[in-house]
Structure 1
Amino acid sequence: MKTLALLLATTVLAAASAAQAATVAIVNARILNPGAAEIANGTVVVRDGKVSAVGANVTAPAGAQVVDAKGGVVTPGFVAVNSMLGAVEVSAVGDDVRITTPDLGAAFDVQYALNPDSTVIPVARLGGITSAVVTPTPEGGQGGAGEHDDSGQDTSGAPASEHAHSLFAGQAAVIQLARGQEMLVKPRVAMVAPFGEAGARVAGGARGANFVLLKEALADVRAYMRNRAAYDRAGYRDLALSRADLEALIPVVEGRMPLVAVANRASDIRAVLKLARDEKLKLVLTGAAEAWRVAPEIAAASVPVILNPVLNRPTSFETLGSTLENAARLEKAGVTVAIEGNSGAHRAHEMRYNAGVASANGMSRQGALAAITINPARIFGVGDRLGSLEPGKDADLVVWSGDPFEPLSRPQLILVRGEAQPLRSRQLDLRDRYLDLKRPMPPGYSY
């Protein structure tokens, strides 16, 4: 597409402010928008970094830069969930989403370590991802740093007051993946807590301990809210959590911040649903390998579910019910589903393939598209800005060469806040550097 290439070259080289000030009209496009009928031949108008108009009868404004999609597919930019984008480079040498200190839990906030220059981000962007929810990783979760014996039980010998901090992994943040721009969209969008096997480990070895300690922690938060003055003058009883953790949990107990509960087994999910009812918590389920088994209960509670639909074999006793039809069965029951990518950051770009797998196993195509766009945006409180092509929202969109769920389809143009992004990554640069084996190798490769 020569017109696309020309727009990309001129817009990327322009200053960010100039790029956002430009009016761009993408014409002759097949528009796929969650919650709306497909537009076989339509136009998307972008002005000042926002979507200005979308439709079959929309015309390009006078003076607009016109991009001829030539029948290519236009979708909103995808929203990655359970992501480590901007918080990790090489997992083996550490990340910024996991803590092991006994003095901090709920107050841990991922927003302070985000790196917009991460080499992982362009790879994710080439998978159509323009936004992400960066999520703390529970200490007792898969790959956690707790001290365990071969049975998976906690052998640290820590008292209950120390376990209390590990009940909460910290607070998630929403970011956008534009090159060279402030990436933070919204901080403190959710609190993450492990349940099931992971929750048992951080609580001392048993699921029951996890719930008892968590309920005690929430009671301490409410007591702290009622008695701040006494707490400040050291005239109140000892509380299990630090002041920072207590403050961070106030939005959770007030129902303003969702609790993202990591749970897989059907019985664990039921227990978490009951906890949320009893404590009046706003809940989001993640992991959810056996969520399909309790789909009616999840739907009745209006609790959204984040899952990976390609998980179809058990990796532990709590995931015995894994199935490729998990997403489809939840959708049929009326549950709001969000689909994640693989491996947190380095394989986040595979999220669109996962949506395709869900669609191939019974989920509607509209539902699969919504699961990687508007659903995660709404779950984490940014649905007014991201997740769909609607006037007034950020102009985060992708022009695809074909069906975005097909691995051979490629992005032809990526806009984030109306600014065209490079269609390059470190992977592609390395491929091109060493594609011609007749070229002289760097000194380190000469023998």
Structure 2
Amino acid sequence: MIAITNAKLLTVTKGTIENGVILIEEGKIKAIGEDIEIPGDATIIDGQNKWVTPGLIDAHTHLGVFEETIGWAGADGNEMTNPSTPHVRALDAINPLEQGFVDAYMGGITTVQIMPGSANVIGGEMSIVKTYGRVVEEMLVKELSGIKVAFGENPKRVYGEKKQMPSTRMGTAAVLRENLTKAKNYMKKMEEGNDKKSPEVDLQMESLIKVIKREIPLRAHAHRADDIMTAIRIAEEFEIDLTLEHCTEGHIIADIIAEKGYRAAVGPTLSNRSKIELGDRGWHTLVELDKAGVPVSIITDHPVVPIEYISVSAAIAVREGLDEETALKAITINPARHMGVEDKVGSLEVGKDADVVIWSGNPFDFRTKVEVTIINGKVVYQREM
């Protein structure tokens, strides 16, 4: 058992406890509050003058599938042989021993969603993992959390250069519609057929059936406002669930996104304007989406922005007009809800996974350091004093 004492606890969902205690047992938060009896056998971590938050969460990364520094050998996030590859799994390409995972938990990030890249219209399956472990099986929070789809410049550039469809935004939308329609037809045949008449199992269609049945969402890479609207249009046509990823021009249509009830994972705003569709990239997107009532998550798109800078991104967003409470939610409970794992992570609550970060001061001060990171009740990082 671990007891964190005398600390300022930012619970996220239940306010701030100025001088609180957290009890951790068997990987879960057992108790939290001011007047908590501490068992005699507990390992005590004194949190005097420290701030404590839930483990931070990044809902949109390529951690371990686009490894840093090694180029081609570690680039496993885009299967650029077909514009539709719903059946490939990021899970099969994650290298848990990549340095990015160490950077993550040293930066207080304890949970991440890892997905394929955006070269293909339908990029494949994604997973949610903790940032500490030897193999992905030890790290899994959710094996299948969505299917990546992409709009805008990336797929039309990749396949336009190959002189094949899609080479336009029209073609991108058509490829997605075509494959969702195939999945609906395949599902119908599988349900109606018997052992002799049922079609052979098609792994691509099996993946998309989960979307058609609304078991998992499409997670749509879309920067420009018109691309965001295309993603929404197709989701409504097929009556499927959708989250908006990047949402760079979301501020232009913030009222529409809010009215339709979509969540937005915004970023990587700390990056440069590397292509035309990022021309209006800025912190104002988060501010305007929040004002409109859109639940926002701040993302790094690691390795585009190194994952340890998600707290820096949140701090800059505060400087540029986002209030601290919303900024904290944008790297904790909002991404947990965005990914559908808010019952496990994203806040300091009894019964949730004991993913806890102890900070030297206010997390929104650039000078603040992570002093301790706890994942599933285990201290995985402790800064040398």
TM-score normalised over the length of structure 1: 0.78
The answer (yes or no) to whether the contact 2:268–2:300 under 8 Å persists in 1 is: no
Which region of structure 1 is more displaced relative to structure 2, 50-59 or 112-121?
Answer: 112-121
Whole-Å Cα distance in 2 between the matches of residues 409 and 169 of structure 1? Answer: 37
Task: Tell me the secondary structure at the aligned position of residue 187 of structure 1.
Answer: strand
Structure 1 counterpart of 2:171: 209
The answer (yes or no) to whether the contact 2:270–2:313 under 8 Å persists in 1 is: no
1:95 to partner: Cα distance: 2.3
Matched, 1:337 2:299: no
Indicate how the Cα distance of structure 1 residues 286 and 110 shifts in structure 2: closer, same or farther if over 3 A, else same.
same
Which region of structure 1 is more displaced relative to structure 2, 388-397 or 318-327?
Answer: 318-327
When you count strand as a share of all residues, which structure comes out higher? 2
CA-to-partner distance for each residue in 1:118-145, whole Å, 9 max, x for gaps? 2221111111011111111022xxxxxx
The answer (yes or no) to whether the contact 1:82–1:344 under 8 Å persists in 2 is: no
1:313 to partner: Cα distance: 6.9
How big is the alpha-carbon RMSD for the aligned residues of Structure 1 and Structure 2? 2.5
Q: How does 1:305-320 map to 2 (within 5 A)?
A: 305-308=264-267, 310=269, 314-320=273-279
The answer (yes or no) to whether the contact 1:284–1:305 under 8 Å persists in 2 is: yes
Structure 2 counterpart of 1:154: none
Matching residue within 365, 375, 378 for 2:324: 365
Structure 2 counterpart of 1:177: 131
The answer (yes or no) to whether the contact 2:101–2:132 under 8 Å persists in 1 is: no
Structure 1 counterpart of 2:90: 110
Structure 1 counterpart of 2:162: none
1:317 to partner: Cα distance: 3.5
The answer (yes or no) to whether the contact 2:83–2:155 under 8 Å persists in 1 is: no
The answer (yes or no) to whether the contact 2:17–2:34 under 8 Å persists in 1 is: yes
Q: How does 1:42-441 map to 2 (within 5 A)?
A: 42-87=20-65, 88-90=67-69, 92-93=71-72, 94-102=74-82, 105-139=85-119, 166-180=120-134, 182-201=138-157, 202=159, 203-228=165-190, 243-308=202-267, 310=269, 314-341=273-300, 343-344=302-303, 347-423=306-382
1:213 to partner: Cα distance: 2.2
Whole-Å Cα distance in 2 between the matches of residues 91 and 331 of structure 1? Answer: 38
Structure 2 counterpart of 1:34: 12
1:251 to partner: Cα distance: 1.2
1:345 to partner: Cα distance: 7.3
Whole-Å Cα distance in 1 between the matches of residues 79 and 127 of structure 2? Answer: 16
Task: Tell me the secondary structure at the aligned position of residue 19 of structure 2.
Answer: strand
Amino acid at match of 1:72: K
1:329 to partner: Cα distance: 1.0
1:422 to partner: Cα distance: 3.2
The answer (yes or no) to whether the contact 2:271–2:304 under 8 Å persists in 1 is: no
1:294 to partner: Cα distance: 0.5
1:235 to partner: Cα distance: 8.3
Whole-Å Cα distance in 1 between the matches of residues 62 and 81 of structure 2? Answer: 20
Indicate how the Cα distance of structure 1 residues 179 and 224 shifts in structure 2: closer, same or farther if over 3 A, else same.
closer
Task: Tell me the secondary structure at the aligned position of residue 75 of structure 1.
Answer: strand
Task: Tell me the secondary structure at the aligned position of residue 381 of structure 2.
Answer: coil
The answer (yes or no) to whether the contact 1:120–1:345 under 8 Å persists in 2 is: no
Indicate how the Cα distance of structure 1 residues 354 and 103 shifts in structure 2: closer, same or farther if over 3 A, else same.
closer
Task: Tell me the secondary structure at the aligned position of residue 169 of structure 1.
Answer: strand
The answer (yes or no) to whether the contact 1:396–1:415 under 8 Å persists in 2 is: yes
Indicate how the Cα distance of structure 1 residues 231 and 323 shifts in structure 2: closer, same or farther if over 3 A, else same.
farther
Task: Tell me the secondary structure at the aligned position of residue 219 of structure 2.
Answer: strand
The answer (yes or no) to whether the contact 1:51–1:393 under 8 Å persists in 2 is: yes
Whole-Å Cα distance in 2 between the matches of residues 405 and 269 of structure 1? Answer: 30
1:85 to partner: Cα distance: 2.1
Whole-Å Cα distance in 2 between the matches of residues 224 and 311 of structure 1? Answer: 42
Indicate how the Cα distance of structure 1 residues 342 and 353 shifts in structure 2: closer, same or farther if over 3 A, else same.
farther
TM-score normalised over the length of structure 2: 0.90
The answer (yes or no) to whether the contact 1:309–1:326 under 8 Å persists in 2 is: no
Whole-Å Cα distance in 2 between the matches of residues 40 and 61 of structure 1? Answer: 21
Whole-Å Cα distance in 2 between the matches of residues 377 and 255 of structure 1? Answer: 18
Whole-Å Cα distance in 1 between the matches of residues 156 and 304 of structure 2? Answer: 26
Amino acid at match of 2:61: S
Whole-Å Cα distance in 2 between the matches of residues 342 and 246 of structure 1? Answer: 27
Task: Tell me the secondary structure at the aligned position of residue 421 of structure 1.
Answer: strand
1:29 to partner: Cα distance: 0.4
Task: Tell me the secondary structure at the aligned position of residue 297 of structure 2.
Answer: strand
Whole-Å Cα distance in 2 between the matches of residues 312 and 183 of structure 1? Answer: 28
1:66 to partner: Cα distance: 1.7
1:180 to partner: Cα distance: 4.4
Whole-Å Cα distance in 1 between the matches of residues 196 and 231 of structure 2? Answer: 36
The answer (yes or no) to whether the contact 1:81–1:132 under 8 Å persists in 2 is: yes
Whole-Å Cα distance in 2 between the matches of residues 421 and 184 of structure 1? Answer: 16
The answer (yes or no) to whether the contact 1:73–1:401 under 8 Å persists in 2 is: yes
Amino acid at match of 2:29: V
Indicate how the Cα distance of structure 1 residues 127 and 114 shifts in structure 2: closer, same or farther if over 3 A, else same.
same
Whole-Å Cα distance in 1 between the matches of residues 276 and 78 of structure 2? Answer: 25
Indicate how the Cα distance of structure 1 residues 209 and 132 shifts in structure 2: closer, same or farther if over 3 A, else same.
same
The answer (yes or no) to whether the contact 1:400–1:412 under 8 Å persists in 2 is: yes
